[in-house]
Amino acid sequence: MSGETSNLVLADDDQTVRNLLTMHAERGGFTVSSGENGAEALELVTEDTDVVLLDLQMPVLDGFGALDRLGREHPGVPAVVLTSVDEAAEAVKAMKLGALDYLTKPFDPDELLAVLRNAKRLRRAELENEQLREALGGRGPTVQIVAESEAMKEVVRQAEKVASLDSTILLTGESGVGKGMLSRHVHAKSERGEEPFVTVSCPALPRELLESELFGHEKGAFTGAVRRRRGKIEMAKGGTLFLDEIGDLPIDLQPKLLNVLQERQFQRLGGEETLEADVRIIAATNLDLEQRMKDGQFREDLFYRLSVIPIEVPPLRERLEELRHLSESMLGRIAPQGGRRSTKLSKEALSAMHSYDWPGNVRQLENVLERAAAFCEDGVISVEDLPASVRGSEPSGRVPDGIGGIALSDLEREALVQTLKLCNGNKAETARRLEVTEKSIYNKLKRHGLM
């Protein structure tokens, strides 16, 4: 890390103290952004921030409020607080709120730099560990696919047949059918199976962040880019890059992905070096890409490059004969994770599940089973343990009376909150039920202050 500058955000309502802190931090190799209060400081925090330094007593938003918001909005970014020598209780309270360390006023410059550098080292180590976990995410035992219906058996036959090839695969099907699991199965069966499996969710990030996420960036490529960052294409080198919900890839990024597929080359954002894209790409979508092409939202040439080998995964309602074995497999995974004993389905519960059409598919099934396993008695899931919608006692598709006169923004917010709760926080399933794109869900959540 030597020679690199670090990004420090600090907040203090005393301009003299701010100037002193800035001067000492810059001498220690930090780049500094500062504000007069916690609110101003939080506006300056980015994914490249190494450490935040907060005075505890400030107007508008004090250090305690800033610590709370920092933990929710930028988890993982360490904070150090400034307090007076006679405010030990305040420092303890700040540490309980998540502060990494504290300094007392008047501060010693050497101690200041030591604390900030320690926070920087911890932040860099966490980021490197996170990238390593992502890069190694695909290594492990072969994913077991439950396939008892003829439709699903054919899907698995196709997937295993093309696994040994290096061709690009396009997986289609409704949200939650298991496209991500099938992509891991293909990866595990391929010659790249011992190399990284890296996932990018196209609708989960704003366009600017998504470009950097995919291709990486050089130091100075944009405001806040204080160091070089590898993108997911580099992290997946030798392995598989899974592009989830590819239909939501912004139109202006599509030519760059097309170049990766055609030339097997790319450049980091703000860079001039041409890098090799040694990855096998598997893309997935629950959208009609042909319709999006007609609407001018998806490039035709990219579509044909992606769909060299198209595989459609059927919805769960078309393969209900797999419910029992799917449920047994999921319950076998769920029990150890929660420290529970083995859990089984009663015949009555399984019968009720066969009568349900599972609009959220396999993902919804897993959520239902996890919830039921948490509340069941004696390790057996009964009908009563299932959600009302699954056991057929909850009406659906009806607009309630009494909503006249309520602001549309309030209705939208309530629809988001209730549907997210119904879908156990799954944003893709929430988008499907509300008949909007997953990207719209993220935008609406931010607009209503729900994330």
pLDDT tens, 204-220?
777 878 898 899 988 88
Q: What is the pLDDT of residue 341?
A: 66
Give the model's confidence band at 24: pLDDT under 50 very low, under 70 low, under 90 confident, else very high. very high
- Record the tokens describing residue 31, joined without a space: 């780049």
Burial class (CB in 10 A: 0-12, 13-18, 19+), 397: exposed
Q: Smallest Cα–Cα separation from 417: which of 446, 445, 376? A: 445
In the three-class reduction of DSSP (H, G, I as helix; E, B as strand; rest coil), residue 402 is classed as: coil
Mean pLDDT of 309-326: 94
Give the model's confidence band at 224: pLDDT under 50 very low, under 70 low, under 90 confident, else very high. low
| Angle of CA points 179, 151, 191, to nearest 5° | 50
Average pLDDT, the chain: 85
Range with the lowest mean pLDDT among 32-41, 130-139, 215-224, 415-424?
A: 130-139
Cβ-count burial 305-336 (b if 16+ within 10 Å, e if not): bbbebebebbbbeebbebbeebbeebbeebee
pTM above 0.75, yes or no: no
| Dihedral sign from CA coordinates of 427, 432, 433, 435 | positive
Q: What fold does the segment set 318-385 form as a domain?
A: Helicase, Ruva Protein; domain 3 (1.10.8)
How many whole angstroms separate alpha carbon 161 and alpha carbon 189? 9
Range with the lowest mean pLDDT among 46-55, 100-109, 325-334, 422-431?
A: 422-431
In the three-class reduction of DSSP (H, G, I as helix; E, B as strand; rest coil), residue 307 is classed as: coil
| Angle of CA points 16, 20, 23, to nearest 5° | 135
Q: What is the pLDDT of residue 215?
A: 94
How many whole angstroms separate alpha carbon 448 and alpha carbon 53? 29
Q: What is the pLDDT of residue 388?
A: 83
At the top level of CATH, the class of 6-135 is alpha beta
CB 241 within 8 A of CB 232: yes
Q: Which residues does 436 contact at the CB level (< 8 Å), separation at least 6?
A: 444
Range list of β-strands (E), 121-254: 169-172, 197-201, 240-244
Range list of β-strands (E), 252-378: 265-266, 275-276, 280-285, 309-312, 344-345
Range with the lowest mean pLDDT among 49-53, 128-132, 248-252?
A: 128-132
For 153-314, CATH number?
A: 3.40.50.300
**What is the number of other CB atoms lying within 10 angstroms of the CB of residue 362?**
23
Consecutive H or E run containing 34: strand 30-35
- Domain positions in the chain: 6-135, 153-314, 318-385, 408-447
At the top level of CATH, the class of 408-447 is mainly alpha
Q: What is the pLDDT of residue 430?
A: 83
Give the model's confidence band at 142: pLDDT under 50 very low, under 70 low, under 90 confident, else very high. very low
Q: What is the pLDDT of residue 252?
A: 93
Instruction: Judge if 318-385 and 408-447 fold alike in CATH terms.
Output: no
